[in-house]
Amino acid sequence: MKSTITYNVSIAGGGLAGCLLLVAIKNRWPQVVVQLHERTENLCGEHTWSFHHDDVPISLWPWLRPLITCTWPSYEVFFPLYRRKFNSAYYSIKSKDLAKKVLRDYASSVILNSNFNADEADFVTTGWPPRKKQSNYGYQKFVGLEVTTEAPHGLKSPILKDARQPQTDGYRFFYVLPWSERELLIEDTYYSNSSALDIDQIKSEIEKYAQQMNWKISQIRHVEKGSLPLDMYKMKNKNNVNGLGAAAGLAHPVTGYTLPLILQQIEAILKPTTIDLKTSKNNLAHINQRLEKNFSFYRFLNRMMFNAALPEKRYIILERFYTLSEGLIQRFYAGKTTGFDRVRILVGKPPVPIAKAVQQFKDSV
């Protein structure tokens, strides 16, 4: 006899995590009724989400690929004494694009202006739980300009770090995505102890950088900014066990990004061959615990960066990091650093006073 059971899955929060989860579930189990509740009138907010090839578990590509706004086959990093090209793909999703595709294909699953009770949801993707105000965060902060150039800019692949710049306010680099022949996103980024952003000042720094690179800006189409808190110690917040993305209290401690973690969480949820919410939720709780465990190493690195290294010397840590193997770098950003990787990252003389480095290590034990 054919089963007549209908499965309903409710998701609270229509940001990055909620939208990806909706698409993933509908692709894996098309018969399931999914309701995605978003309390505002739009999905996804205003962001650009970028990721590396190895951030994506292989089984997720079939439904993730069509959601990508831009793919580049390689990317580069530049430091004062070192540059490197990585022949590995890099991807970005623009939030407006994702929202449009989700509404086009799954309109009947989306309920806008719905402030849903997270305790009643099967999966919670409502963004960051309230964070305690505390002084022991570092920050990745940035201002980005979406610009059109007068002539083709000539940049073929993203520049993930251009740290050949005065190292003011911590480790500082430009990040550039070439959207098309004449469109760029140029971000000026700082790993700083303070969250404060002087937007006008940073805008003029970006214009100066564009001049250095011989890009004549004809129009600034959009300004984006962010100041992402980076944990140095384990947060004491109570995070949601059914949470994905920020709602799980999990962002990569060194980048502040959630996308690679959301993909691992979704992979865990989709594991059962037939829909089985209990197993999916157990899998999610399990992966959240595993990610959290791995994060203590990244938080230690943050303490080294923000508490031990001199602000103007922080870039040296990253310059050395980018000389390591491509696999190690990819695993690092995916939050999958192995024990051997940790040793490789830590060997050598760090550009930090030894007494301060030892103190940060003591704080780990």
Ligand X SMILES: Cc1cc2nc3c(=O)[nH]c(=O)nc-3n(C[C@H](O)[C@H](O)[C@H](O)COP(=O)(O)OP(=O)(O)OC[C@H]3O[C@@H](n4cnc5c(N)ncnc54)[C@H](O)[C@@H]3O)c2cc1C
Q: Min. distance of Cβ 11 from ligand X in angstroms?
A: 9
Does the footprint of ligand X cover residue 184 (CB under 6 A)?
A: no
Residue from 9, 16, 145, 284 touching ligand X (CB under 6 A): that is 16
**48 versus 264: smaller Cβ distance to ligand X:** 48
Q: Min. distance of Cβ 159 from ligand X in angstroms?
A: 15
Does the footprint of ligand X cover residue 338 (CB under 6 A)?
A: no
Q: Min. distance of Cβ 247 from ligand X in angstroms?
A: 6
Site string for ligand X, 27-66 (x = CB under 6 A): ----------xxxx----x-xxxx----------------
Does the footprint of ligand X cover residue 290 (CB under 6 A)?
A: no
Does the footprint of ligand X cover residue 172 (CB under 6 A)?
A: no
Residue from 14, 170, 253, 350 touching ligand X (CB under 6 A): that is 14
Q: Which stretch binds ligand X (CB under 6 A): 16-24, 172-180, 201-209, 264-272?
A: 16-24
Q: Which stretch binds ligand X (CB under 6 A): 148-156, 242-250, 286-294, 320-328?
A: 242-250
Residue from 12, 22, 308, 329 touching ligand X (CB under 6 A): that is 12
Does the footprint of ligand X cover residue 141 (CB under 6 A)?
A: no
Q: Following CA atoms 124, 134, 136, 339 in sequence, which dihedral angle do they give, to the nearest 10 degrees?
A: -20
Taking the CB of residue 111, how many other CB atoms lie within 10 A of it? 15
Residues 247-266 that bind ligand X (CB under 6 A): 247, 256-259
Q: Please choose, from the candidates 143, 140, 86, 79, the residue with its C-alpha nearest in 3D space to the C-alpha of residue 315.
A: 79
Q: Min. distance of Cβ 183 from ligand X in angstroms?
A: 17
Q: Min. distance of Cβ 181 from ligand X in angstroms?
A: 23
Does the footprint of ligand X cover residue 206 (CB under 6 A)?
A: no
The residues near 278 (Cβ < 8 Å, ≥ 6 apart) are: none
Does the footprint of ligand X cover residue 71 (CB under 6 A)?
A: no
**14 versus 350: smaller Cβ distance to ligand X:** 14
Name residue, tokens 């989700």. Answer: 102
Q: Which stretch binds ligand X (CB under 6 A): 2-10, 146-154, 224-232, 272-280?
A: 224-232
Residue from 127, 129, 272, 351 touching ligand X (CB under 6 A): that is 127
The residues near 311 (Cβ < 8 Å, ≥ 6 apart) are: 167, 169, 170, 171, 192, 193
**22 versus 316: smaller Cβ distance to ligand X:** 22
Q: Min. distance of Cβ 266 from ligand X in angstroms?
A: 12
**222 versus 313: smaller Cβ distance to ligand X:** 222
SS3 sequence of the chain: CCCCCCCEEEEECCCHHHHHHHHHHHHHCCCCEEEEECCCCCCCCCCEEEEEHHHCCHHHHHHHHHHCCEEECCEEEEECCEEEEECCCEEEEEHHHHHHHHHHHHHHHEECCCCCCHHHCCEECCCCCCCCCCCCEEEEEEEEEEEEECCCCCCCCCEEEECCCCCCCCEEEEEEEEEECCEEEEEEEEEECCCCCCHHHHHHHHHHHHHHCCCCEEEEEEEEEEEEEEECCCCCCCCCCCECHHHHCCCCCCCCCCHHHHHHHHHHHCCCCCCCHHHHHHHHHHHHHHHHHHHHHHHHHHHHHHHHCCHHHHHHHHHHHCCCCHHHHHHHHHCCCCHHHHHHHHCCCCCCCHHHHHHHHHCCC
Does the footprint of ligand X cover residue 205 (CB under 6 A)?
A: no
Residue from 115, 180, 296, 323 touching ligand X (CB under 6 A): that is 115
**Which residues are near ligand X by CB under 6 A?**
12-18, 37-40, 45, 47-50, 114-116, 118, 125-127, 224, 226, 228, 245-247, 256-259
